[in-house]
Structure 1
């Protein structure tokens, strides 16, 4: 592995997947590599450099988790006490703990409802309205279901404990000691740092269209407001390395706790996303060692971070196109051939062989998580179609154990999912896609 080979690889894959600009940062066998390619905005043609910040989307969550864990280490909040005392406005706070919020086992719905005021950053009022006990989709501590709403609550908890806004707290308590100057895609103070523009590659692959604005409600800043470079991401990952000297602002025990899998007693895990989940980090089983990380997508951006705390390796990719996920999928096996594991596996192939009609028929119906409704209906040609409360969106290619590949109509993009049996009824009780678990209604 060397600088020139990594630069050539990134340039090749960015061109293949029509990604205007990207950064790749690697720590491998004690060496550090930083390469970048392309432009940060096709409109201006301004080049990407090592300091360009990319909207990292949900990769904001591990930073929010780290800030919350610093408060735990300081004794300001307890991981396992119900949060009603700290957050009186949190209606489900008598049932839910910080540990459950950070590990996506709180039972809160997955996504902030559509129509949330984009400029409303009053998290206390929002939590009071949308995070009542009656809003829980699952009993807390029983299943994994990826929840953006859970991290809104974490952001509100940080504000209540520190007396600062989430943005002020994460800058002062986490980034300033790291020597990192973050940018924010929304909010009152975005800093003067240069931020890459997202781009949409049209399905026909004839045009690459800039997306000028990141459509993120301010209440969701703890979920997805950060913009950082690939170098910033691997600098953060170094805090979790076993041999990292003086890993401030995280002490060694806190860093280790964040990587400890929380799902041993959980009935339904994060199928389709990872093999386990810690306190902010996804865990990927890579055979001899576990790799940790997170993905993040913004409007026309796709970013990825993986690290192995045992051997001190890390890889971060930032990209400014919606096809960045395909770039990452193509990059992972190439890095593996160079001796660097990113923990990810190849995209799943469609299952082979027929599925009994009775099994498929048992999957039909409505599955609901918060405001999101999934409708499974029969396909005219046989098989199953999935719609999100409206017209069919994807076909489901099922295997005999009712795991499936969701293949989008039109684009052909694929992602894994499954139906899960309810032990009480022995019938299909849940639909799980991208880590989100929707009970059948």
Structure 2
């Protein structure tokens, strides 16, 4: 690959085939836009053993890569004067009875202090507005709005409701009419949002150790309430076309000032940033800094799928990978490495800075932490710490002296499990460890009757 142009089609196809075999990924697409030229390749099967090949126009579930589309929808409403970025989101949703003071800007940049996950019974809530009122109001704030980054699906449920309230259309219909149809893109959806007879969607797969079994996932578990959070399915080429609207020479879809504001880092003055996910955050876009130009993008992981997008506006480069296996995250890391060898400085995650000497974590790291319905328990075990999420210890933590850590699945196979990063954070006033941050989600020290 290193002796070929980075968007040489045979080279990209051969690379993707090789990496899919290495990571037991049944099928994938890779699209690279560079120097005003887009190359898209597809390899493998839509469902393992069925024999239906992945095509360049096959729709893959995007999971959380749906969120930038929702943010762009909201920003079209802001551009039209129907909402203001610094409006409290609750003022646009009077029927929901929200008492959050978070603004539209804070919701889109994950700084509204809202919980991370939508509850499992969300699909039975009757309506998204009832969910928003019942759930967002009954949960304690993770942090005061504007004081910390904490990745929140609940925030993007509210963003979707905002779109519906102002446009008078269901979120999928607004997405199609305002964003996708003008690009010539026909959307597909997954889970309860999927329409009978609509565009078919590639299936997910879970690769398990031992034995490296590959298990098909029949359907993505996305409720109607979560449509604006993770229901969209598109091809890598179609995602690349959307991302091209945010380059230095943007396409016709969005105004230049809207594009610039969405890319602008919104975290100035926010003490706790998106450690382990990115180096900054705009409105819907993560920002990655790797010593050169800023890159932007988002990742999406769902039930046996993993999708990744990065773009660099100045040179006009876009890279999109869609995969139908949980090990697609490892495949993405290898794609990033190969493209960097070929001269494209594509970032993977934000700078993790976990190269410090291993150290024993102090006792005040131990105990329970909560983010909405997410409950974490940190205990000692072996040479380091153990982390349980709503149950027994599932992850092993290796800490540094300044309380950063890497996190691996306990007893997992290194080639299957991805290494994540996190940190413990001290309260500035008391000096006591008060927060746990994992993959951008902030959890505050708390108690549960389970502990």
- Common fold by TM > 0.5: yes
* Distance in 2, Cα, partners of 1:424 & 1:199: 46
* Distance in 2, Cα, partners of 1:353 & 1:315: 34
Alignment root-mean-square deviation, CA:
1.8
Q: What residue is the counterpart of 1:386 in the other structure?
A: 387
**Conservation of the 8 A alpha-carbon contact between 1:112 and 1:149:** yes
Q: What residue is the counterpart of 2:132 in the other structure?
A: 127
**Conservation of the 8 A alpha-carbon contact between 1:366 and 1:440:** yes
1:117-151 Cα distance to aligned partner (Å, 9 max, x none):
3x657211111111227542211111000000000
**Conservation of the 8 A alpha-carbon contact between 2:310 and 2:318:** yes
Cα displacement (A) at 1:318: 0.4
Q: What residue is the counterpart of 1:143 in the other structure?
A: 148
Cα displacement (A) at 1:382: 4.0
Give every structure 1 segment of 4 or more consecutive aligned residues whose post-TM-superposition deviation is greater than 3 Å: 89-94, 345-354
* Distance in 1, Cα, partners of 2:411 & 2:226: 30
* Distance in 2, Cα, partners of 1:92 & 1:346: 33
* Distance in 2, Cα, partners of 1:354 & 1:72: 47
* Distance in 1, Cα, partners of 2:46 & 2:97: 43
Provide TM-score, normalisation by structure 2: 0.93
Q: What residue is the counterpart of 2:30 in the other structure?
A: 24
Residue 226 (str. 1) matches residue 228 (str. 2): no
SS of match in other structure, 2:421: strand
| Compared CA separation, residues 44 and 310, structure 1 to 2 (3 A) | same
Which range moves more in the overlay, 201-210 or 366-375?
A: 201-210
| Compared CA separation, residues 176 and 121, structure 1 to 2 (3 A) | farther
* Distance in 1, Cα, partners of 2:133 & 2:221: 23
**Conservation of the 8 A alpha-carbon contact between 1:142 and 1:267:** yes
Structure 2 unmatched runs, 5+: 447-451
Which range moves more in the overlay, 123-132 or 83-92?
A: 83-92
Which range moves more in the overlay, 54-63 or 213-222?
A: 213-222
Written as runs of structure 1 = structure 2, the 5 A alignment for 1:9-48 is 9-48=15-54
* Distance in 2, Cα, partners of 1:173 & 1:184: 16
**Conservation of the 8 A alpha-carbon contact between 2:276 and 2:349:** no
Q: What residue is the counterpart of 1:289 in the other structure?
A: 293
1:80-103 Cα distance to aligned partner (Å, 9 max, x none):
011332111444456111100000
* Distance in 1, Cα, partners of 2:278 & 2:194: 34
Aligned residue pairs total: 435
**Conservation of the 8 A alpha-carbon contact between 2:64 and 2:229:** yes
Cα displacement (A) at 1:384: 1.2
* Distance in 2, Cα, partners of 1:49 & 1:5: 17
Which range moves more in the overlay, 344-353 or 201-210?
A: 344-353
* Distance in 1, Cα, partners of 2:286 & 2:272: 15
**Conservation of the 8 A alpha-carbon contact between 1:83 and 1:93:** no
Written as runs of structure 1 = structure 2, the 5 A alignment for 1:257-336 is 257-336=261-340
SS of match in other structure, 1:132: helix
1:297-324 Cα distance to aligned partner (Å, 9 max, x none):
1211100010011110000000000100
* Distance in 2, Cα, partners of 1:385 & 1:139: 28
Cα displacement (A) at 1:209: 1.2
Which range moves more in the overlay, 51-60 or 81-90?
A: 81-90
Q: What residue is the counterpart of 2:449 in the other structure?
A: none
Residue 363 (str. 1) matches residue 365 (str. 2): yes
Cα displacement (A) at 1:354: 4.8
SS of match in other structure, 1:273: coil
SS of match in other structure, 1:84: helix
